[in-house]
Amino acid sequence: MTSASFSVPAETVWRYRLDFSNLPEYNPDVSGVTRTGDGDPGGVGGVLGAGARYSFRLADARAPGGSQGVELWLVDAVEPTMVSAGMIGGTEAYEEFVVRPGDGDGDGCEATLTLWVALPSDLPDDVRAAAAAGSLEQIAKELRLMKEILEAR
């Protein structure tokens, strides 16, 4: 889990994260994002909300220059405070992106990104620890880049 403070409104941050076609902007390891299915047009987030599905390529650190296919689906969206998604590629993962509006005039918010990754149970402890550290580093980078992009607009 990692958090960042944004100087832009919670709604702006939430909408940006909701649309996973933005993913390559704040995760340079991602390419070729395609929305392969729409969410409920009448639900929270419309076609980008729960049920929306995406496919993309994710750089594979184990194979320099290589990548692996990933499928991502929106599990839930609560406007303007939460986006949750499941993923499957090299491993299975689930994430929750929670936005807490700041106090006061509506400008600024705090966002927290939590990622759960399913690793094979037979992995040695040091490999599990390295995978956890790498995942935390990755989501911290995503939040940092997202903050830079949104605050520069």
- pLDDT, one tens digit for every residue, the chain (153 residues): 999 999 999 999 999 999 999 999 999 999 999 999 999 999 999 999 999 999 999 988 777 888 999 999 999 999 999 999 999 987 899 999 999 998 766 679 999 999 999 988 888 999 888 888 888 999 999 999 999 999 999
Whether the model clears a pTM of 0.85, i.e. scores above it, the answer is yes
Tokens of 5: 């403070």
How far apart are the C-alpha atoms of 9 and 108, rounded to whole Å? 5
> Could you tell me the residue ranges of all domains in the chain?
2-152
CATH number of 2-152: 3.30.530.20
- Angle, helices 125-152/10-18, rounded to nearest 10 degrees: 120
DSSP 123: S
